[in-house]
Structure 1
Amino acid sequence: MNSDRSRGGWRSFPFIIGSTAGMSVGGAGIIGNLIVYLIREFNVKSINAAQVGNVANGSSSLFPIVAAIMADSFFGPFSVALLSSFLSFLGTVIFVLTTIIGSLKPKPCNNGSNACKPPSKFQYAILYGGIALCALGFGGARFTTASLGANQFNETKHHDIFFNWFFLTLYIASVVSFTAIFYIQDNISWAWGFGICSVATFIGLIILVLGYRFYRLHKPQGSAFLDLARVLVASIRKWKSQLSSTAKDYYIAKDETLPIQPATTPGKRLRFFNRAALITDGDLQSDGSIGKPWRLCTVQQVENFKAIIGILPLWSSSIFLSVPIGIQASMTVLQALATDRQIGQYFNFPAGSISVIPLISTSIFLTFLDRVVWPAWNKFSGKSPTTLQRIGTGHVLNVLGMAASALVESKRLKMVHSNPSTTMSILWLLPALVLVGIGESFHFPAQVAFYYQQLPQSLRSTSTAMISMIIGISFYLSTALIDQVQKSTDWLPDNINDGKLDHFYWMMVFIGGINFLYYLLCSTLYKHTKM
């Protein structure tokens, strides 16, 4: 068996990245074109298909936090990534079966016809089973693999480099799915398209396993979230106790095994929770160990809890950064279906592939930032931009992208209403998506690096899943928001040519602007817990 010194570092990098590439090609190829598949093959109405797509995206982004808790507390990131990869593979197989077994989907009909037969309950059950396995598996593998990869390095600069390459791989793999695989699905065969996704997922699974001998495996340290709950309960139970300024009055575990030097005295911020580590009568047994774990915690557990609490305002600001992205991801597909997608004499742009534009712009700018902008910034200023500065820049670019979407949709609707026979070119949708993609190159990697560096080391997998949880909540919120707007206004009918989607985008601009001000306040008040 290899020693720990022979594990980790850049020798494990090809396996982490290779697995990420395979899983991303498979996952994006299924979930990314789900809206079009539902409309064309399952006779689902457009807005309903967009809602299902949002739920699928939300699930694939929320499950990583569950997977991260399992990895941190019980099984470790490798085991959870392995199981998640296998579940994703099973999901892709189910999608392949829906394309080759006629009884698993409704009979085809003309798009928009009132005679279209909806799927049966059995067909819905099989479909949703495949969606669930793909969403949960892909989501669980994606950021748990990111934690596994980051765990191979000790230095912060290596973490930053790894996360940049991780996201670059994620986006490039998605670009492959959103172009080549979507084209195969739309123009050749859904069976071939989903089959390629299944093969790619299986290859990613095999690569993950092959790298096992090179991974530095961190043992789970028990339920860190249970420790956090104990801090909250102990603080409340001792709310009348007087805080002390003497270090010996606070409990420090004698067998503290955390990789970093444990705190010996509680910090001054959020001092109320220091009571959880305050030693009072009856808290300790005769041998000096904790007698009542729900009444006394270690100083390190208290500081871990306060780190979580301190980061929550910044984390919440990122939710409304991602809500417009989720809305744009689904609505742009509907816009693409209503545009002229013919480019040149022979190429018809697949509607689902419109989402490739922000992925391409993100991939290009991630490379540009890493190789040109950040080195130049460091050369002239003597330091690199902070993660919070990069996230803030992403906020601004995201708002500008929503404003561009609103302007383009307003122009498209004017063209349709003035002359119904004219159709706007799909190329008009590109500038707004490029802006959003550039924004993602700033804020997504920066957010993952920020949470990884700021949260306790006992929550490493959870920290990388924080951004995924944000995306998941955002997709669910965007689904609820679309549903509410559809009920209370005339902006989102089934035929978007009869609606006012531009008004919806302007509402996103307003929400994004308010949220940016909130982010500025949170980032100004935030105090870093460690470097």
Structure 2
Amino acid sequence: MLKKLWKIACLIVANEAAERLSAFTVSASLVLYLTKEMRESLPDAATHVSDWVGATYLLMLVGAFLADAYLGRYLTVILSSAVYLVGMIMLTISASVTSLRPAPCNTDTSNCPSATPGQSAFLYSALALVALGTGGVKPNVPSFGADQHDENDERELSYKYTFFNLFFLSIKVGALLGLTVMVYIEQEKGYAWGFGLPTGIMFASVVILAAGFPRYRYKKPMGSVFTRFIQVIVVAVKNHFKGAKVSPEVKLYEVATEESDILGARKLSHTPQYRFLDKAAVMEDPETTDITNRWKLCTVTQVEELKTFLRVFPVWASTIALSLSLAQQSTFFLAQSKILDRNLGPNFVIPAGSMQVFAVINAFITVPIYEKIVVPIIQRKTNHHRGLTSLQRMGLGLFISIFALASASAIEHMRRTSSNRNSLSVFWLVPQFFILGGAESFTYVGQLEFFYDEATDGMKSVCGALFLSEIGIGSWVNTALVKIVERATGTGEGGWLRDDLNDSKLDYYYAILAAISAVNLFLYVWVARRYKGRHQG
């Protein structure tokens, strides 16, 4: 059985690696494509990319909702992959057909034609389809992979956490190939090749996932978790105004069957937190109450579902600052890479987008060392089966992110004030990429473990999408912060963020981000110390 489990896991992991290769290739090139080919200003291109990333990740809530409520995870992933593929095809066409991009500049490069509304509409329609497809794929693939492990089998369950680490590394494998091979081909052959090859690989990822169709374990959709949440709130408020009381003497309603009345979901034990919501399960008159109508009476399990969501929400909200930091990798970090000396020998120029590979390399170093060396040592001290708890692991990642932004600020200040700033090597940027990669390694895997473990049966995908959506919110916060800084400092002389980074003060912007990360860490520690999971009663 375990051999079969690993074969299935490999299919899912291979699919994720292929999909991430496509995604990272696009994200690593998009700012440069918008500035070079579509002739947008750097601040505009940075905010458009942040907005696109934000929409991509927030659409994951929609994808998770469809999977949990109606389609199931597998069908949602396959259909969303098809939408994703159409978007990639359109993106390749945009880069291949000259009439879909602005006309070449004349001799006066200061007056180059901008993209027409039609050209921009075609490009952003392609990006919208990619975002929509990603929204259905990304939140459901890790949950679908975890579903292959029987939680009632201790041997299989122990492999679930190994799967999460393997899944994270598959993301980094896709990123590694996308940020090196694909970005280099794009630099040498053009954007048509740069977008076309990932399109072909995306098609292959769909075939890979479909190949395991007869072997997968499937969980049926359990209905809309958001509808159940609303029912609990509505019934609790109604019963409150009717004078319903909650006390140890009041018996709360639960179905008599072995499982809950949420299709395929196990019953949840009552917890004392958020007692107001318990009023939704108070049965006033057993003779007249319609126990089948959830708009009049909810079960304990249904109430506990909403309680679980409310418990994990502060943890989610207090980790958004890391996503704000990660947004820099595909925007201003990339812009810095472009203007520094990228020559490696006489005949090779490092693609600007490939600098993100140092964040990926960190994962290949950090995760194996942590799993094989650090965890056994910490286990002996903490007696916890994972060494550090998922909350502790997330906090460590948030702590590391402060140093990533601090180093970025220091290095950019050195570059900006240096007399030979135009000849500095791009390798000066390695520390900020590498350290931020370490922060992501700890926080991302910790989030995978935390949200999957804490989520109830009926909201696995939604909880997965919730933690991924913070990447989107972090990107939108980055957009808002850029606009605030532009308004406060101006876009002309003295402005912190300008088209020419040599005239900008990007180091000040990074310093603000480092300060935000430090404040956020204190907030996270406060939240984490007070967190009480559903398994703790």
CA contact (8 A) 1:43 1:111 kept: no
Give the equivalent residue in structure 1 for 2:188.
Answer: 187
Structure 1 distance, partners of 2:466, 2:164, is 14
Runs of at least 5 residues in structure 1 that lack an aligned partner in the other structure: none
Change (3 A) 1:110 1:488: farther
Structure 2 distance, partners of 1:234, 1:394, is 40
Shift, 1:380, TM fit:
5.6
Match of 1:168, as an amino acid? L
Match of 1:406, as an amino acid? S
Shift, 1:381, TM fit:
4.8
* Counterpart check, 1:492 vs 2:493: no
Structure 1 distance, partners of 2:109, 2:414, is 28
Give the equivalent residue in structure 2 for 1:373.
Answer: 374
* Counterpart check, 1:23 vs 2:19: yes
Quick one: which of 266, 271, 291 aligns to 1:267? 271
Give the equivalent residue in structure 2 for 1:363.
Answer: 364
Match of 2:229, as an amino acid? L
| Superposed CA offset, 1:387-415 (max 9, x none) | 11111100110011110001001101101
Structure 1 distance, partners of 2:325, 2:367, is 21
Quick one: which of 82, 86, 93 aligns to 1:90? 86
TM-score norm. by structure 2 comes to 0.92
Match of 1:241, as an amino acid? A
Quick one: which of 17, 33, 36 aligns to 1:37? 33
| Superposed CA offset, 1:217-237 (max 9, x none) | 100011111001111111112
CA contact (8 A) 1:87 1:136 kept: yes
Structure 2 distance, partners of 1:89, 1:39, is 24
Give the equivalent residue in structure 2 for 1:465.
Answer: 465
Deviates more, 1:93-102 or 1:133-142: 133-142
Q: Give 3-state SS (helix, strand or coil) of 2:423's partner.
A: coil
The 5 Å alignment of 1:438-477 reads: 438-477=438-477
Give the share of equivalent positions with the same residue, in percent: 29
The 5 Å alignment of 1:51-90 reads: 51-90=47-86
* Counterpart check, 1:252 vs 2:254: yes
CA contact (8 A) 1:336 1:354 kept: yes
Root-mean-square deviation over aligned CA pairs: 2.2
CA contact (8 A) 1:105 1:123 kept: yes
| Superposed CA offset, 1:254-295 (max 9, x none) | 34256564136x32111111101011138954xx6334x223
Quick one: which of 276, 279, 283 aligns to 2:283? 279
Deviates more, 1:102-111 or 1:84-93: 102-111
CA contact (8 A) 1:453 1:530 kept: no
Give the equivalent residue in structure 1 for 2:98.
Answer: 102
CA contact (8 A) 2:81 2:133 kept: yes
Q: Give 3-state SS (helix, strand or coil) of 1:11's partner.
A: helix
| Superposed CA offset, 1:77-128 (max 9, x none) | 0011001111111111111111222211112338993221111111111100
Match of 2:284, as an amino acid? T
Give the equivalent residue in structure 1 for 2:231.
Answer: 230
Quick one: which of 406, 411, 436 aligns to 2:409? 406
Match of 1:294, as an amino acid? W
Quick one: which of 126, 131, 134 aligns to 1:135? 131
Match of 1:184, as an amino acid? I
Give the equivalent residue in structure 2 for 1:146.
Answer: 142
Shift, 1:328, TM fit:
4.5
Give the equivalent residue in structure 2 for 1:395.
Answer: 398
Structure 2 distance, partners of 1:233, 1:65, is 22
Change (3 A) 1:314 1:381: closer
The 5 Å alignment of 1:152-163 reads: 152-155=148-151, 156-163=157-164
Structure 2 distance, partners of 1:386, 1:442, is 11
Match of 2:518, as an amino acid? G
Shift, 1:251, TM fit:
1.1
Q: Give 3-state SS (helix, strand or coil) of 2:305's partner.
A: helix
CA contact (8 A) 2:42 2:498 kept: no
TM-score norm. by structure 1 comes to 0.93
